[in-house]
Amino acid sequence: MEGRLLDASNLYRLRQDAPPDGDTLVQRADADFAPLIDALWGAGYYDAVVTVEIAGTTRRIGAGESGAAARAAEGFRDRGRVPVKVVAETGPLFRLRDLSIVDPGTGRPRAPDDPPLRVLKLAPGDPAVASDVRAGPARLVDYYRHRSYPLAKSPPPAPVVDHAAESMDVAFPVDPGPQAGLGAYTLRGPEGFDPDIVRSFIYLEQGEPYSPERLERARKAIASIPAVGSVRIREGEALDENGNLPLAIAVADRRVNAAGFTAGYSTVDGPNGRVFYENRNLFGGAERLRLQGDAFLAPRNNGTRLKSIGDFRFSDIGARATVSFLKPALDGSRFDGLFDGLVERNRTGGGRFAGYTDRLGGFTTGLRYRFSETFSVGAGIKFERGRTSDVISNVDYTLVGVPVTLQYDSTDRPLDPTTGIRVTGTLTPYPTAFGSSVGLTRGNVAASTYYALDEDARIVLAGRVGIGGFLDDPRRLELIPSNYRFYAGGAGSIRGYRYQSVSPLIAEGYTVGGRSLFDGSVEARVKVTETIGIVPFFDAGGAYASQFPRFFGDTRMSGGIGLTYATAIGPIRLDLAAPINPRRGDKPLVLYVSIGQSF
């Protein structure tokens, strides 16, 4: 209680600000009685008594004339600080006794399960804390709103305190109102582009059951348009003639131009940097153009190491330039136009696990169709030309393919999901009839799921699985460009192993990539406090020489513990991972730092 009383006390807050005279000091003390008593009652101490001693003179609430205390305080003028003591006698802690949910009109209890008492998150015997009692009406309203009662109301309860029994009885009134569906919506804004583009991202159907989650998904869908700065959905105060709830949607434009840079350093891969420019309304149709350049220290994969500045070579710099263009809602439809271009010079591997070198350029263009906020499919044309080099081959290649993609995401939060499923899949045939130098059909699928064990999501179980392979069987691995083979290991895969180092080996330390891939992770995300959490995790998987994953082949495993700190933008996460079945050259512990959960 001491902290609550200090927070409530004006005397304490102004202790360094001397009053002009004794009367003013006494007035400060008298003004403290109400907030101090409120703090004590709020904690469940309804027989609490507060007194204030000023220079040895005691004052109680409603004491009236202040002359004695003021004169005692004046005696310290020009001699020292006036001693002030606040005495709080808490008395017994009162507890809840009878709890009920009643009809506000008649005062009669509602049916036992309409709603159940557990909705209040209160039980007989709990401390009669005022804040917990005040939270009850909001919980009742949320209960009914999530069951399609948008106009539910719950006035503040009038608790009855029984001082003799040191207990409190509370009857919570609630009026659920009528059950309703979603009605018509009006749209205000945007100003910089056609409102029909926004409408194409609104998947609400008139008459479908009202749901706060449904409206939140609609808000997030609209906000996914790069040119949109903010979205507000305001609910009507009454139902329309069809018994549906009308909506008003307000959309504000986002700033058109953005530029930025990042710089980082990895103890494994060294320094890296990025610059970008983005235009979010290029031609006035909410088009997004993003230009980005990356530079990084490319790990050596020829057995040598960069030991000093003098040992540095120009070839040690890796670089990547990308251009991305998005035209949302073509002609106001749910089709989006996409274009991505890439030029890259890169090396992978490093340490004892030599990887590959690539130099490439290409582009992908296509269409995406959005069925809903959660589900979309896409198809297009991909062209890429490049050269890869590793220990088994030097491949000059041209690939012309038809990528087909699928995305499904029903999670509640992008950086810290507590419920839902994510699935991303890509299947790309590269037929020689289209001009590809090697015929391939490459596919991969990644899925994750999240399940909260309690209503407050203090314990969330999370699982992830990824699988990949070639649908046709490329017998000669050396004909496949190195960057199209499968690798595992790293922050987004099997933690504790170097990035892309888990792969079939043809000799000690030489990774060559595989024909198939499997990796998975399980985590328990546990909140210890409102801001601090711990995450024990286990990863397993690998890349395999066979066409299909052989789970009992060269599968690597790791385990570890994560620490999270919640912020407004998402959790800051620190993971410490250790290989369970390490190879020679693997580090015993690897540290990862990120914003957001690992998957």
User: Terminal CA-to-CA distance of the chain, rounded, Å?
Assistant: 41
CB 136 within 8 A of CB 143: no
Look at the domain 95-173 and name its fold.
Answer: Ubiquitin-like (UB roll) (3.10.20)
Pairing state between β 181-188 and 244-253? parallel
Q: How confident is the model at residue 504 (pLDDT cuts 50, 70, 90)?
A: confident
pLDDT of 350: 64
> How high is the mean pLDDT of the chain?
91
Q: Say how far apart CA 161 and CA 128 lie, in whole Å.
A: 9
User: 257-595: which CATH number, 3.90.25.10, 2.60.120.260, 2.40.160.50, 2.60.120.10?
Assistant: 2.40.160.50
pLDDT of 265: 84
Q: Token pair of 486, please? A: 């499968």
Q: Calculate the CA 100 to chain-centre distance.
A: 36
- Give mean pLDDT, residues 158-163: 93
* 29-33, 176-180, 500-504: least confident range: 500-504
**Which pLDDT tens digit goes with each residue over 331-371?**
999 999 999 999 999 988 766 677 889 999 999 999 999 99
- Give mean pLDDT, residues 171-192: 95
Is the pLDDT score of 303 beyond 70? no
Give φ, ψ of 7 to 5 degrees.
Answer: -65, -30
Give φ, ψ of 384 to 5 degrees.
Answer: -150, 140
Q: Say how far apart CA 463 and CA 560 lie, in whole Å.
A: 15
Give φ, ψ of 271 to 5 degrees.
Answer: -80, 160
**Which pLDDT tens digit goes with each residue over 573-596?**
999 999 999 988 888 999 999 899
pLDDT of 305: 67
Instruction: Specify the DSSP class assigned to residue 240.
Output: -
pLDDT of 476: 79
pLDDT of 315: 77
Is the pLDDT score of 95 beyond 90? yes
Q: How confident is the model at residue 424 (pLDDT cuts 50, 70, 90)?
A: very high
Is the pLDDT score of 510 beyond 70? yes
Is the pLDDT score of 509 beyond 70? no
* 265-269, 382-386, 397-401: least confident range: 265-269
Residue 94 or 18, more confident: 94
- Give mean pLDDT, residues 56-83: 84
- Give mean pLDDT, residues 261-277: 87
Domain boundaries, the chain: 2-89, 95-173, 181-253, 257-595
Pick the closest to residue 13 from 30, 28, 2 (CA basis): 28
Q: Say how far apart CA 242 and CA 535 lie, in whole Å.
A: 49
Residue 442 or 503, more confident: 442
Query: Is it true that 95-173 and 257-595 share their CATH fold?
Result: no
Q: Token pair of 590, please? A: 């690897």
Pick the closest to residue 249 from 182, 187, 192, 183 (CA basis): 187
pLDDT of 114: 85
Is the pLDDT score of 104 beyond 70? yes
Q: Token pair of 326, please? A: 């998005």
Q: How confident is the model at residue 268 (pLDDT cuts 50, 70, 90)?
A: low
pLDDT of 43: 92
Is the pLDDT score of 207 beyond 70? yes
Instruction: Specify the DSSP class assigned to residue 9.
Output: -
pLDDT of 301: 67
Q: 181-253 has which CATH code?
A: 3.10.20.310
In this prediction, what percent of the chain has a pLDDT beyond 90?
Answer: 71
* 266-275, 276-285, 463-472: least confident range: 266-275
Give the torsion sign (CA, 198, 199, 202, 207): positive
* 386-395, 396-405, 551-560: least confident range: 551-560
Is the pLDDT score of 129 beyond 80? yes
Q: Say how far apart CA 340 and CA 338 lie, in whole Å.
A: 7
- Give mean pLDDT, residues 263-272: 80
